[in-house]
A and B are shown apart, each in its own frame.
Chain A
Amino acid sequence: MLHQLLFMLSSMLTRRIAQSISHYSVNNLFAKSLLSPREHYTTTNVPISNFQKSLLAVSSAFTAFFDPSRGDMIATLAETTSSIFLNKLRDEMLRDSKGRQILRERPIINSKTIDIPNLRTLPEGTFGKEYANFLDGEMVTPDTREKVKYIEDEELAYVMQRYRECHDFFHTLTKLPVSVEGELALKWFEFAQTKLPMTLISSVVGPLRLSSKERTRLFEKYVPWAIQCGSQSKLLMNVYFEECWNKDIAEMRKELGIYLVE
């Protein structure tokens, strides 16, 4: 863990320096040109300095802790702390054919792009049907995700967006519930997969809100599973979920190296 943290810290510094020294210019025009040709994941892009980013990160971490209902704050925390790691995540996608296809096509997940009524008609056991069951069971829709702000780079903004949009697919595949415990377990799983700091930070802060029984279960059952399964399975960001509706979900788990927590 210490190793990971040190690694993060140093990559963060590296990136900082690299950005400031490589004339990596923040293009203000981005805000206007963010409309992707394919889809409207229109984001309000606010160019801010690294210092401001750190301030935002710290303050949103506090807000998230004291007021868990402020979903926007959790999102802000993620964006400001993770631009370095989004780069890493994008690199992982760039190394993979499917990841590249996703980056190139920039598919969007919402109720307009995905025909959910049709997914409901698929046979039981298919990924599409399981996903529809999940949405119906939890009474959520794919439209409730925070919009991406504060990320100037158009492609990185997309990676963040995609990461959020895939969250419910992760639930579907791992069968983790939308409870505090389930979410935390999923965070650890995502962390093992992506090393994104947002997942790490909330997994450290989050358990303080659990009862001691829940906490014991989290650390003795879920976390070991999440770390094991998350680090050995294929990076889920490189899965083109939209092509998998008809796949047998058990088959899919096997291909991806995912097993369920007992």
Chain B
Amino acid sequence: MIDKNLYDIAIIGGGITGSALACALVNSQKTKSRRIALIEFNNMSNIREWKPPHLQFSNRVSSLTPRSIQFFKDIGVWENINHERIRPYKDIQVWDGISNARIRFNSDDSISINKNIEAIAWIIENNNIQHAILTKLAQYKDSNIDFLENTTVKRIMFDDVNYENEQFDLSDWPSLELSNGKVLKTRLLIGADGINSVVRSFASIESLGWDYNARAVVATLQVEPQVENATAWQRFLPTGPIAMLPLNNRFSSMVWSTTPTLASKICTLPSNNFIHLVNAAFRLRIADLEYLYSQLENCDIEFVKEFEWRQSIEKKAGIGNEIFPPLVLDVQEKSRAEFPLKMRNAESYVKERIALIGDAAHTIHPLAGQGLNQGLADVQSLVKVIEHGVVTGQDLGNIQLLKNYSSDRYLSNLMMLGAVDKLHKLFGNDFAPIVFMRSLGLQVINHLEPVKSEIIKYAMGIE
């Protein structure tokens, strides 16, 4: 009886990183015989039975790097992806809202990138990824994994209780008290339970960082039909970046980080005004945008008229000749939502018998689309370390073993966090000398192909 509640590895959190880790572990010849529990608070049946709605897209999408895609291929998840609903892109355009200085990344132009690379990244609905992982996991029903859905970890403790008939000393194994009344003991506890990780608090691991005074508004946009909608666009506004990511030739996904006050107004704006506010945010002067911000609660003003008038003026002045993202024609109903933006890094990713992965370990501003990719890199690294532990016959909860994981990932995550945070701060400034310097910087880099290649390789996970 007691036996049944003993696990080698318990993963708390069945989000993308947690379930991907479970999948990778059962898929590996070296680790598949371990007893694994995957514990998720939500009921996953909706995602398991996900039927993609025709001509509609979820507002939660991620940009996955080639490295993350390769990982999904390796663990047999990629074959379960609905390929009609993903969009690779080879081109990124980033520009400054104040000076209009631009930088363009194109994987075809980059000299030092392998020409066989299909794309810089892929835009995929989170549901599509999660569905593919769950489909794969379902194939391992009879293996050593228990997927406990609808289950919350209520408490984690060291109870010092040693089960009598055990030949091992289990007193230092963490016990998990679940919402269904069961108590589990695990050799290795993995926190994949997101930003408010209970595993992290149990381990008394501090999470360092700050909340940005900003929120991200996401939405699914219907855009002017494109021959090939395959560019990721991002304009840095003084209030934060706005990005448009391609979903297919008629749809794109938006992530707009801005002040909390504006975010909530943008979310509730009548959709015809919202559409043109987005168009304005990509194409008009900051002063025009500021005027529109001041009119968000004014129902009498038609944003379309303001947009079209300013657009015609800018075209005449030659500014409209730049290439811009496709015009937004409509916004999918109920697709607007807002999220708080935070930057966090746990002071350590491991403790005796405990490891943190994904957002439980670190949270990043979404402007570079790296959060999930970092989480998946954690998974890959941790799987290698666990495999090594199994092969060399070590206790999987041993801190010395787990340290290999944190030394592999900590610095690399920290660097990405730092870089993205600096970018956010640099572009959140409208002080003229800084605008000047960053515009100059963008322009210079834009002409330095080798530097650009290095940046893009970093962003693609080809370190």
- Which residues of A are at the interface with B, using a C-beta cutoff of 8 A? 7, 10-11, 13-14, 17-18, 21-27, 30, 33, 90-92, 94-97, 100, 104, 153-155
Q: A14-B432, A23-B318, A91-B287 are in contact. List 12 more A-B contacts (CB 8 A).
A: A10-B433, A17-B443, A18-B439, A21-B99, A21-B443, A90-B287, A91-B285, A91-B286, A94-B285, A95-B290, A97-B291, A155-B317
| Contact of B432 with A100 in the complex, beta carbons under 8 Å | no
Q: Which residues of B lie under 8 Å from residue A7 when comparing CB positions?
A: 432
CB-CB < 8 A to A24: which residues of B?
100, 317-319
On whether the beta carbons of B318 and A25 are closer than 8 Å, the reply is yes
Q: A10-B432, A10-B436, A90-B287 are in contact. Are A22 and B99 (CB under 8 A)?
A: yes
A26 to B321, CA, bound (A): 12
CB-CB contacts below 8 Å: B269-324 with A: 285-288, 290-291, 294, 306, 309-310, 313, 316-319, 321-322
**B440: Cβ under 8 A from any A Cβ:** yes
A91 and B310 CA atoms in complex are apart in Å by 12
Chain A CB within 8 A of B102 CB: yes
- How many whole Å from B52's CB to the nearest CB in chain A? 40
Does B426 make an interface contact (CB < 8 A)? Answer: no
Cβ contacts under 8 Å, A96 to chain B: 291
Contact across chains for B101 and A18 when beta carbons are under 8 A apart: yes
Q: Check A23–B321 contact: CB distance below 8 A.
A: yes
Could you tell me the distance between the alpha carbons of A63 and B286 in the complex, rounded to whole angstroms? 37
A32 to chain B, nearest CB (A): 12
Give which listed residue, B294, B318, B439, contacts A21 with CB less than 8 A.
B439
Q: What are 18 of the A-B contact pairs (CB < 8 Å)?
A: A14-B99, A14-B432, A14-B435, A14-B439, A17-B99, A17-B436, A17-B443, A23-B318, A23-B322, A24-B318, A24-B319, A25-B318, A30-B316, A92-B287, A94-B288, A94-B291, A95-B287, A95-B290
Residues of B within 8 Å of A13, CB to CB, are: 436
Chain B residues near A (Cβ < 8 Å): 98-102, 285-288, 290-291, 294, 306, 309-310, 313, 316-319, 321-322, 432-433, 435-436, 439-440, 443
Residues of A close to B319: CB separation below 8 A? 22, 24
Q: Do A155 and B99 have beta carbons less than 8 Å apart? A: no
Choice from A18, A30, A92, A97 contacting B100 with Cβ under 8 Å: A18
Which residues does chain A contribute within 8 Å of B98, judged by CB atoms? 14, 18
Q: In the assembled complex, which residues on chain A have CB atoms less than 8 Å from the CB atom of B291? A: 94-97, 100
Of the candidates A21, A30, A100, the one having the most CB atoms from chain B within 10 angstroms of its own CB is: A21
Q: A22 to B322, Cβ gap below 8 A?
A: yes
Interface SS, B side:
helix
Q: Chain A nearest CB: distance from B119 CB in Å?
A: 27
Contacts A17-B440, A94-B285, A94-B291 given; indicate if A22 touches B432 (C-beta within 8 A).
Answer: no
Rounded to whole Å, the gap between the CB of A17 and the closest CB of chain B is 6
A11, closest chain B residue (CB): B432
CA–CA, A100 to B298, complex, Å?
Answer: 16
A7 to B313, CA, bound (A): 28
Is the CB–CB distance between B309 and A104 below 8 Å? yes
A24–B285 CA distance with the chains assembled, in angstroms: 14
Interface centre among B285, B291, B294, B309 (most CB of A within 10 A): B291
Let me know if B309 and A153 touch, CB within 8 A.
Answer: no
Which of A14, A30, A91, A155 contacts B436, CB < 8 Å?
A14
Please determine whether A154 and B294 come into contact, CB atoms closer than 8 angstroms: no
User: Do the beta carbons of A18 and B99 come within 8 Å of each other?
Assistant: yes
**Complex-state Cα separation, A13 to B99, whole angstroms:** 11
Of all chain B residues, the one with the shortest Cβ separation from A12 is B432
Lowest 3 A-B CB distances belong to which pairs? Answer: A91-B287, A18-B99, A22-B100
Give the residue name and chain of the B residue nearest to A8 (CB): B432
CB nearest to B309 among chain A residues: A104
When chains A and B are docked, how far (Å) is the Cα of A234 from the Cα of B306? 23
Give the complex CA separation of A13 and B432 in angstroms.
9
Residue of chain A at shortest CB distance from B288: A94
B186: min CB distance to chain A, Å: 57
Residues of A near B99 (CB, < 8 A) are: 14, 17-18, 21-22
With a CB–CB cut-off of 8 A, which chain B residues contact A104? 309
Q: In the complex, how many angstroms separate the beta carbon of A157 from the nearest chain B beta carbon?
A: 11
Question: A95 to B102, alpha carbons, bound, how many Å?
Answer: 25
- Which of A14, A17, A100, A153 makes the CB contact (< 8 A) with B317? A153
* Contact B436 A22, beta carbon cutoff 8 Å: no
A14 to chain B: closest residue by CB: B436
Specify which chain B residues have a CB less than 8 angstroms from the CB of A22 in the assembled complex.
99-102, 319, 322
